[in-house]
């Protein structure tokens, strides 16, 4: 059936009933097909705008029941093409408490691949009941071409080889000394220029903080939301990281970034936020989801209040079929259209909650995600906690989704800080956290180990501050984590005392060595490898300033620390059978034969085979034995304030010292292992030493 409608400008457009699939706006041979879910609406208007700054629509197309299939409203409009701007108004009952429909508000298509109108947009206009047509964002018709995997195939690093580097697209190249052209600083294209940096460092995978479209105005007055953990769209790349005025350029530039990374053997993971949106609580703006299906997309109480386990005013009801469909479509968009290699789910366990936020043993979203063949080859990682107190690590309700191991982070911080009762926990983390995984070491890919992340202190600040210093955020220092397990080593903040600075440098090496030489998948935070500080601010989500940016100047970068990190990653890569085996080392010798080559782990203290797990202990050592041939690896950890002398086990071949964190500058160990002839290893106060048998030392190249 055809209809001919006259636009405000006098031109004629022919419309057809259209199709409910695909969702969003799709280019057809004659124009564009539009489809959107609004299950309880009784009328929908599609608004066509002449441009992104237009204060009123050029054409209004009313969709009645004949344009409806179940929960979906759809229409095909002839003559439109990529770049056309549109929005929706949705009509229906308004319930007590403000739930339901606000047809005065122009809504963004939840499946839009591009959004424009930022020059006229006002967030406040999306609140209340007054029209916002002259100050609204517009959805933009986009192509949906698949990513060219034939020309730029996924690197597909195994979990054993994977090393993740968490990076903020805008902050990484924002500084004038970043070496990136001025018009590309803080952009997708600017990040391409830094791919050689990732390669030299030795990471295999970059994890981008959210680049799903977000509203920078979703922040206190005078500040910008730069982390992007309150999405405006789950399909649109953030406009602020693109160069050029065309809103569809962001899609192309994300593809260019991913293609360049793939060509260099670097995987790209995306930090995604499906647990809540930028619409906030019921007093927040009506921008998209709320206006189409308020009670469908958000968890709500019987009284109509938004239920919140995100800490941001609302929680997405991922158990609902329409919400689930939208999230799966978003994942497919990023993975198959833009080439993303995997996802990290912010507060991911919140997506396992059902009616009234009850935790589900078999969350339908995770089941559908794991069964989807289009998502089957991706790396999937999640935070195992949410703000409602749910924390599921070994029992995370999805087999293919690994989790951030917050216990690993806390154990390493506590041990090197010198806390009592921390040695046993360190041993558990070095074992692969069997205490957290039903008595068995976590399988590779199920546990992502970390010391720091975007949310919290940087590594330099972890060893420089006892307390957070977040006054710049405008919340009277109330925001940010209070339990940081940090230590300033004698002075709060920057110091000119060489003794304090040397100790801080050593502690950074201790923490990084323990992270990168432990079994599991390690994640590094942007800038930790060069001593980047945030001035003690552990929640820089609204600081688009040098406080949040990567450092590049020789005057501020610790290049020796970066060389040390690269050295560690090189060792880890070449000796994965010792440091990161696919099958965990046994905890005792296998009684197979006298000539067994099986590896097994033995624990020590300062004396051989006598580990001290007592509450007061601050020292630990472990060795990896090769059958009956002797030790091939020894690692000693001394978090005590005095030097300790450790007895060394008999080596399978002569010992060589591989790492000594007490050697801070001009370290000749970076050239290669050094022969060690003594039967004991002195460990200076708060230091770590690694010994390796000559047979393995000879295999290393530097």
Q: What pLDDT was estimated at residue 220?
A: 85
Q: What pLDDT was estimated at residue 94?
A: 77
Alpha-carbon gap, residue 114 to 106, rounded angstroms: 16
Alpha-carbon gap, residue 429 to 407, rounded angstroms: 8
* Residue in this structure with the two tokens 């890919």, named with its chain if needed: 445
Alpha-carbon gap, residue 449 to 190, rounded angstroms: 28
Q: What pLDDT was estimated at residue 11?
A: 61
DSSP single-letter state for residue 115: E
Alpha-carbon gap, residue 50 to 177, rounded angstroms: 41
Domain 2-140 matches domain 586-697 at the CATH topology level: yes
Alpha-carbon gap, residue 498 to 334, rounded angstroms: 48
Q: What pLDDT was estimated at residue 641?
A: 97
Residues 692-698: what's their mean pLDDT? 95
Alpha-carbon gap, residue 277 to 618, rounded angstroms: 45
Name the strand (E) or helix (H) holding 694: helix 694-697
pLDDT digits over 146-182, tens only?
A: 999 999 999 999 999 999 999 999 999 999 999 999 9
Alpha-carbon gap, residue 438 to 555, rounded angstroms: 48
Residue 68: which of 91, 49, 99 has the closest Cα? 91
Q: What pLDDT was estimated at residue 98?
A: 64
Q: What pLDDT was estimated at residue 666?
A: 63
Q: What pLDDT was estimated at residue 8?
A: 47
| pLDDT more than 90, % of the chain | 91
Q: What is the CA radius of gyration of the chain?
A: 28
* Contact indicator for 667, 656 with CB cutoff of 8 Å: no
* Contact indicator for 132, 121 with CB cutoff of 8 Å: no
Q: Is the pLDDT of residue 29 over 60?
A: yes
Residue 143: which of 248, 297, 2, 242 has the closest Cα? 248
Strand stretches in 83-130, DSSP E: 85-91, 114-116
| 586-697 fold | Immunoglobulin-like (2.60.40)
Name the strand (E) or helix (H) holding 26: strand 24-27
pTM: 0.96
Tokens of 694: 């000559």
Instruction: Tell me the HSE value of 624 on the side-chain side, using a 13 A CA sphere.
Output: 25
Q: Distances from the Cα of 325 to the Cαs of 91, 216, 316, in angstroms? A: 23, 27, 13
Q: Is the pLDDT of residue 9 over 60?
A: no
Q: What pLDDT was estimated at residue 1?
A: 42
Tokens of 109: 């298509």
Phi, psi angle pair for 98, to nearest 5°: 90, 10
CA 178 vs. chain centroid, Å, equals: 23
Alpha-carbon gap, residue 118 to 107, rounded angstroms: 14
Name the strand (E) or helix (H) holding 432: none
Residue 398: which of 365, 358, 436 has the closest Cα? 365
Tokens of 139: 């959805």
Total H helices, total E strands in the chain: 14, 27
* Residue in this structure with the two tokens 């198959």, named with its chain if needed: 336
Q: Distances from the Cα of 223 to the Cαs of 215, 277, 283, 626, 686, in angstroms? A: 12, 19, 20, 57, 40
Q: What value does the mean pLDDT of the chain take? A: 94
Alpha-carbon gap, residue 151 to 145, rounded angstroms: 14
* Residue in this structure with the two tokens 């809504």, named with its chain if needed: 107
Residue 448: which of 524, 509, 520, 545 has the closest Cα? 520
* Residue in this structure with the two tokens 């912010």, named with its chain if needed: 346
Q: What pLDDT was estimated at residue 222?
A: 84
Q: What pLDDT was estimated at residue 6?
A: 44
Number of other CB atoms surrounding residue 528 within 10 Å? 26
DSSP single-letter state for residue 382: E
pLDDT digits over 401-421, tens only?
A: 999 999 999 999 999 999 999
Q: Is the pLDDT of residue 2 over 90?
A: no
Name the 3-class secondary structure at 172. helix
Delimit the domains of the chain by residue range: 2-140, 164-450+466-476, 586-697
- 548-565 core/surface letters (b: 16 or more CB in 10 A; e: else): bbbbbeeeebbebbbebb
pLDDT digits over 484-503, tens only?
A: 999 999 999 999 999 999 99
Provide the annotated active-site residues: 346, 383
Instruction: Tell me the HSE value of 34 on the side-chain side, using a 13 A CA sphere.
Output: 32
Nearest-5° Cα angle at 537, 534 to 539: 110
Q: Is the pLDDT of residue 623 over 50?
A: yes
- Which residues lie across from 207 on neighbouring strands? 166, 269
Name the 3-class secondary structure at 669. helix
pLDDT digits over 324-371, tens only?
A: 999 999 999 999 999 999 999 999 999 999 999 999 999 999 999 999
Q: Distances from the Cα of 92 to the Cαs of 45, 66, 362, in angstroms? A: 12, 17, 34
Q: Distances from the Cα of 185 to the Cαs of 118, 169, 193, in angstroms? A: 20, 9, 10
Residue 23: which of 415, 329, 425 has the closest Cα? 329
Using CB atoms within 10 Å of the CB of residue 302, give its burial: 0 to 12 exposed, 13 to 18 middle, 19+ buried.
exposed
Residue 637: which of 517, 527, 457 has the closest Cα? 517
Q: Is the pLDDT of residue 204 over 60?
A: yes
Sign of CA dihedral 547, 549, 553, 559: positive
pLDDT digits over 421-477, tens only?
A: 999 999 999 999 999 999 999 999 999 999 999 999 999 999 999 999 999 999 999
Residue 506: which of 686, 676, 316 has the closest Cα? 686
Phi, psi angle pair for 480, to nearest 5°: 85, 160
* Contact indicator for 513, 687 with CB cutoff of 8 Å: no
CA 689 vs. chain centroid, Å, equals: 31
Residue 567: which of 670, 657, 661 has the closest Cα? 670
Residue 523: which of 586, 463, 581, 455 has the closest Cα? 455
* Contact indicator for 369, 332 with CB cutoff of 8 Å: no
Name the strand (E) or helix (H) holding 15: strand 12-16
Tokens of 172: 């990484």
pLDDT digits over 636-673, tens only?
A: 999 999 999 999 999 999 999 999 999 876 666 777 89
Residues 118-134: what's their mean pLDDT? 96
Q: What pLDDT was estimated at residue 604?
A: 98
Number of other CB atoms surrounding residue 567 within 10 Å? 20
Q: Provide the pLDDT confidence category of residue 628 given band limits of 50, 70 and 90.
A: confident
Q: Distances from the Cα of 619 to the Cαs of 26, 300, 596, in angstroms? A: 63, 51, 30
- Which residues lie across from 214 on neighbouring strands? 231
Name the 3-class secondary structure at 252. helix
| pLDDT more than 70, % of the chain | 96
Name the 3-class secondary structure at 107. strand
Identify the architecture of domain 164-450+466-476 in CATH.
Answer: Alpha-Beta Barrel (3.20)
Q: What pLDDT was estimated at residue 304?
A: 84
Which residues have C-beta within 8 Å of that of residue 528, sequence separation ≥ 6? 451, 452, 458, 459, 460, 508, 512
Domain 2-140 has CATH 2.170.190.11: no
């Amino acid at each position: 059936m055809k209809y001919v409608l006259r636009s405000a400008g006098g031109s004629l457009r022919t419309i057809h009933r259209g199709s409910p699939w695909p969702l969003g706006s799709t280019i057809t041979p004659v124009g564009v097909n539009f489809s959107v879910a609004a299950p309880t609406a009784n009328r929908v208007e599609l608004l066509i705008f002449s441009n992104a700054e237009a204060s009123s629509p050029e054409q209004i197309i009313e969709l009645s029941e004949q344009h409806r299939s179940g929960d979906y409203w759809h229409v095909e409009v002839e003559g439109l093409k990529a770049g056309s701007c549109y929005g929706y108004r949705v009509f229906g009952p308004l319930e007590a408490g403000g739930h339901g429909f606000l047809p005065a508000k122009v809504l963004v298509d939840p499946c839009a691949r591009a959004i424009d109108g930022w020059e006229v947009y006002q967030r406040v206009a999306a609140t209340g009941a007054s029209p916002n047509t002259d100050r609204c964002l517009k959805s933009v018709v986009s192509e949906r071409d698949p990513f060219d995997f034939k020309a730029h195939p996924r690197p597909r690093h195994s979990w054993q080889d994977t090393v993740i580097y968490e990076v903020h697209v805008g902050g990484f190249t924002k500084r004038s000394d970043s070496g990136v052209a001025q018009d590309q600083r803080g952009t997708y294209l600017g990040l391409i220029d830094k791919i050689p940096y990732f390669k030299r460092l030795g990471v295999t995978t970059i994890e981008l903080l959210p680049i799903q479209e977000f509203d920078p105005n979703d922040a206190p007055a005078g500040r910008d939301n730069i982390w992007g953990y309150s999405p405006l769209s789950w399909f649109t790349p953030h406009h602020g990281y693109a160069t050029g005025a065309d809103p569809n350029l962001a899609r192309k530039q994300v593809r260019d970034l991913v293609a360049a990374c793939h060509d260099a053997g670097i995987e790209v993971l995306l930090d995604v936020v499906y647990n809540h949106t930028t619409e906030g609580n019921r007093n927040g703006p009506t921008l998209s989801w709320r206006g189409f299906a308020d009670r469908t997309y958000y968890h709500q109480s019987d009284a109509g209040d938004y239920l919140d386990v995100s800490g941001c005013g609302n929680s997405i009801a991922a158990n609902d079929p329409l919400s689930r469909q939208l999230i799966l479509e978003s994942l497919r968009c990023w993975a198959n259209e833009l080439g993303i290699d995997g996802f990290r789910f912010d507060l991911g366990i919140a997506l396992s909650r059902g009616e009234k936020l009850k935790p589900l043993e078999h969350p339908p979203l995770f089941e559908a995600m794991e069964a989807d063949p289009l998502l089957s080859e991706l790396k999937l990682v999640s935070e195992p906690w949410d703000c409602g107190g749910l924390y599921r690590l070994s029992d995370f309700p999805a087999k293919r989704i690994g989790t951030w191991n917050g216990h690993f982070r806390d154990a390493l911080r506590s041990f090197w800080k010198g806390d009592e009762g921390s040695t046993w926990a360190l041993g558990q983390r070095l074992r692969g956290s069997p205490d957290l995984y039903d008595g068995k070491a976590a399988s590779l890919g199920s546990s992502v180990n970390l010391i720091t992340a975007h949310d919290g202190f940087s590594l330099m600040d972890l060893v420089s501050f006892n307390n957070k210093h977040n006054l710049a955020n405008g919340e009277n220092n109330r925001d940010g984590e209070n339990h940081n397990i940090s230590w300033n080593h004698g002075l709060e903040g920057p110091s000119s005392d060489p003794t304090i600075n040397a100790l801080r440098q050593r502690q950074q090496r201790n923490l990084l060595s323990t992270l990168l030489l432990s079994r599991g998948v390690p994640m590094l935070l942007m800038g930790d490898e060069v001593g980047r500080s945030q001035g003690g601010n552990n929640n820089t989500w609204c600081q688009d300033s040098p406080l949040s940016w990567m450092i590049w100047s020789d005057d501020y970068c610790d290049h020796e620390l970066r060389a040390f990190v690269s050295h560690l990653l090189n060792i880890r890569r070449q000796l994965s059978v010792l440091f990161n085996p696919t099958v965990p080392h046994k905890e005792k010798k296998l009684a197979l034969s006298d000539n067994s080559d099986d590896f097994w782990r033995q624990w020590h203290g300062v004396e051989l085979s006598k580990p001290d797990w007592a509450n007061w202990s601050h020292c630990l050592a472990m060795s990896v034995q090769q059958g009956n041939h002797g030790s091939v690896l020894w690692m000693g950890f001394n978090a005590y304030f005095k030097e300790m002398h450790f007895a060394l086990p008999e080596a399978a071949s002569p010992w060589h010292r591989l790492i000594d964190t007490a050697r801070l500058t001009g370290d000749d160990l970076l050239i290669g292992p050094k022969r060690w002839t003594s039967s004991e290893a002195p460990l200076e106060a708060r230091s770590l030493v690694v010994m390796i048998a000559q047979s393995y030392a000879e295999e290393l190249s530097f």
